[in-house]
Structure 1
């Protein structure tokens, strides 16, 4: 077996067939042997293994499924077969009736399409049917595939034959593995998850976004009309950028960078300005929290070059640029960016605006401005921004509040008071948080707890008992806040 062939890939299967043929296996026995190898050696689940062993794409398998049922217009689609193949980890459980039809398509017994994990999740009735059936299923002949027309063969053809299939070929362009309902569902799921992120555990949102990304990737492997393909590319870009953002919140920065790279590749093919803004916003955020402030500022500045008609406002990118420069105390750049943001700030922009994930809320906008100002020594100005942020946060409905915002505002208000030599003011900000308990928090909250503890342990406050106790409490909170 060639080392270049990825296990389970088409070249791998071709080489496997050659080896089996050399060992004397007849042609009709090859699919079963290939499927067995894919399951045992490549650890591919049975339903996927049998489809690959039959050399069928998801869409062709769905077409043949409909042909076996006797109704070519039946509702089986490649995406549903893909969902059957994902079960029981996710996806949709196939019924016994569906398994019987798939077995006929693949030329096997329906029981061969179930592995141990499948059997453990089967309903009792289906498991009883599995054990009750002892005789092999009758395998129907595979539906005949339409003859493939030879390309560029014109010799010996009459005038009537030339161009006779052009209309049929053109009509193939109308056949697609995706429809507007599926696209609407994918967009609706993205919008829902974007809004739910403020009130749902990050791991849960990340997992649900991964399902959307997998569905999108599977659909892109089929045939779509150009507008549908672009929609899928945009969904791929947005879901990947959202996953990168959330993975960064969980401290998984390597995964974040990979996801943002994937998101940018989607945007390159979609060639969409708004998508480029999504990705640059996510990239700037991840770079900052990963400790790459200058890179963050440059990514945010580049994102502003893509004018997308107001659907994603300039505010998040300008503030990300300011925050990036603040990490290296570049005061002129920070103040210039804050001035640009102040000139366009819309106090009436609601909870997320038109794009509820990337258009950050008013409390988060003012908080970002405050942190940037604090990092370049503008403690009084920072406190004003933090006060506005807290007021805006408290006015939000519970469902639109990002729960990490309250501890972040309190910690940085405390840090601002320390810069103004006000230890009592700093304690007053963070003690309610520490008394109530911070709970599980994103990675940046943990980083800020540790930062404030470090500042309290510095020479300025080292001899103060209040500072020492407060630093110890912050470190305890840091240890308990792991997401």
Structure 2
């Protein structure tokens, strides 16, 4: 029946096998937890549904989770993967898929048949030589006891991926609260006992969670909290000793430092992040552009142009939103916006306008769920600033006038800050005696003030 659903009806394998087993999502989750013999595993029907949606969306199931689900459905774990799944599997999982030889189907196993190590360890009775190494075996066996399993780790990673992917359409306060829960769960697990690999995984979760929280707190203008969170994230990375984690944190630190007013520090943090080579999972573009933006704050034109040139040489116009690190791998519209702001700050107004035009086109091509809400007002504000540098007041007004009737109250702190920058430039010596410029400056300041809670 499952094969008919897959072949004739086009139903994805994991859904097909569950339906063929006549199990609801919640019943399948209950049997999953029964098989693991660990009530703390906490498999839920919603998580199984997310497994079934992958790879188009949802969450990638771990090999361990697939093995348990296969026993629930009475099949082999490899039967739960289709061709589309195999194309998206990480190399390690794909190698295990090809290396594992198992029957196509197996009868459902009872919970006690699952080959999990027993959690209760009987103490070895001392013999005549109990005084020599007494208790050593018991102490070693303690290493097999753990308060963490693959399901819990997968759940933590999935929650991070979900919040990271949803941040473009989620209020920053809400995202920060969701991440705080993940951080608390991670810290609670770290206080228990894990095997070394599990401890490192938890440290990586902690590093990514804290750096994401720092990034979002910076968007809210809470820079003291941002720095504390980034310090915590860096401490996690030091114990995890992982290059990708260090790159996550440096990316967040560079962003927070820039918006907190420390441009040179931002540039140096971004440059250091580039020293941690991670093989493409987190591209160089965000850090190179952060380096350019940091130097632009002190009008260091040679450093800015050098960074922009390095970015241009590696820019991939097809690189879109997606992947496990999409929170840090910024989209094309944001990449070109960052390039434009850096060029504008060193007097390259015409080049900046070209970048802003590309940024707007890329932004409009994104699906609504992948658009960052602050991107449109930021592009408008800085495009307006570029027009001012070219003595085009009408062009500047055309860009920012839509913001005067929009509700920017929920926008990140950086939007309010840039409204103030543009208003100040309109009030500067070049435009001070131009009535239209004064009126526009006052309207921008009014919009900024009314947006405040």
8 Å CA contact 2:179–2:209 kept in 1: the answer is: yes
TM-aligned CA deviation for residue 146 of structure 1 = 10
- Deviation track 1:326-346 (CA, whole Å, cap 9, x = no partner) reads 000000000000000000000
Residue 205 (structure 2) pairs with residue 235 (structure 1): yes
Equivalent-residue separation in structure 1 for 2:38 and 2:330 (angstroms) = 41
TM-aligned CA deviation for residue 428 of structure 1 = 0.7
8 Å CA contact 1:319–1:337 kept in 2: the answer is: yes
1:378-389 aligned at under 5 Å gives the runs 378-389=348-359
Q: Give 5+ residue unaligned stretches, structure 1.
A: 1-72, 81-144
TM-aligned CA deviation for residue 482 of structure 1 = 3.3
Equivalent-residue separation in structure 1 for 2:260 and 2:415 (angstroms) = 13
Count of paired positions: 342
SS, match of residue 441 in structure 1: coil
Query: Which of 417, 421, 446 lines up with 1:451 in the alignment?
Result: 421
Query: Mean alpha-carbon deviation: is it higher for 270-279 or for 468-477?
Result: 468-477
Task: Give the match for residue 408 of structure 2.
Answer: 438
SS, match of residue 432 in structure 2: coil
Task: Give the match for residue 85 of structure 2.
Answer: none
Query: Which of 277, 291, 309 lines up with 2:247 in the alignment?
Result: 277
8 Å CA contact 2:333–2:359 kept in 1: the answer is: yes
- Deviation track 1:208-251 (CA, whole Å, cap 9, x = no partner) reads 10010011001001110111000000000000000000000000
1:64-83 aligned at under 5 Å gives the runs 75=38, 77=40
Query: Which of 291, 298, 305 lines up with 1:335 in the alignment?
Result: 305
1:393-408 aligned at under 5 Å gives the runs 393-408=363-378
- Deviation track 1:436-472 (CA, whole Å, cap 9, x = no partner) reads 3433210110000000000001111111111111101
8 Å CA contact 1:260–1:279 kept in 2: the answer is: yes
Q: Give 5+ residue unaligned stretches, structure 2.
A: 1-35, 44-119
8 Å CA contact 1:442–1:482 kept in 2: the answer is: no
Task: Give the match for residue 361 of structure 1.
Answer: 331
SS, match of residue 275 in structure 2: coil
8 Å CA contact 1:263–1:279 kept in 2: the answer is: yes
Residue 191 (structure 2) pairs with residue 221 (structure 1): yes
1:74-473 aligned at under 5 Å gives the runs 75=38, 77=40, 158-159=128-129, 162-163=132-133, 165-473=135-443
Equivalent-residue separation in structure 1 for 2:421 and 2:303 (angstroms) = 24
SS, match of residue 316 in structure 2: coil
Equivalent-residue separation in structure 2 for 1:482 and 1:196 (angstroms) = 24
TM-aligned CA deviation for residue 162 of structure 1 = 3.6
- Deviation track 1:31-80 (CA, whole Å, cap 9, x = no partner) reads xxxxxxxxxxxxxxxxxxxxxxxxxxxxxxxxxxxxxxxxxx97455999
Equivalent-residue separation in structure 1 for 2:351 and 2:376 (angstroms) = 19
SS, match of residue 244 in structure 1: helix
8 Å CA contact 2:41–2:152 kept in 1: the answer is: no
Query: Which of 428, 431, 449 lines up with 1:479 in the alignment?
Result: 449
TM-aligned CA deviation for residue 412 of structure 1 = 0.2
Task: Give the match for residue 117 of structure 2.
Answer: none
Equivalent-residue separation in structure 2 for 1:342 and 1:447 (angstroms) = 28
TM-aligned CA deviation for residue 352 of structure 1 = 4.4
8 Å CA contact 1:79–1:219 kept in 2: the answer is: no
Does 1 or 2 have the higher relative contact order (CA < 8 Å, sep 6+)? 2
SS, match of residue 436 in structure 1: coil
Equivalent-residue separation in structure 2 for 1:306 and 1:457 (angstroms) = 44
TM-aligned CA deviation for residue 353 of structure 1 = 4.7
Equivalent-residue separation in structure 2 for 1:163 and 1:77 (angstroms) = 34
TM-aligned CA deviation for residue 381 of structure 1 = 0.1
CA RMSD of aligned residues (A): 2.4
Query: Mean alpha-carbon deviation: is it higher for 269-278 or for 436-445?
Result: 436-445
Equivalent-residue separation in structure 2 for 1:347 and 1:360 (angstroms) = 12
8 Å CA contact 1:79–1:218 kept in 2: the answer is: no
SS, match of residue 372 in structure 2: coil
Equivalent-residue separation in structure 1 for 2:409 and 2:292 (angstroms) = 29
Larger radius of gyration between Structure 1 and Structure 2: 1
1:35-54 aligned at under 5 Å gives the runs none
8 Å CA contact 2:419–2:444 kept in 1: the answer is: yes
Equivalent-residue separation in structure 2 for 1:449 and 1:180 (angstroms) = 47
Equivalent-residue separation in structure 2 for 1:286 and 1:363 (angstroms) = 20
8 Å CA contact 2:296–2:304 kept in 1: the answer is: yes
Q: Residue 339 and residue 231 in structure 1: after superposition, are their counterparts in 2 closer, same or farther (change >3 A)? A: same
TM-aligned CA deviation for residue 435 of structure 1 = 2.6
Equivalent-residue separation in structure 2 for 1:172 and 1:408 (angstroms) = 55
SS, match of residue 430 in structure 2: coil
SS, match of residue 405 in structure 2: helix
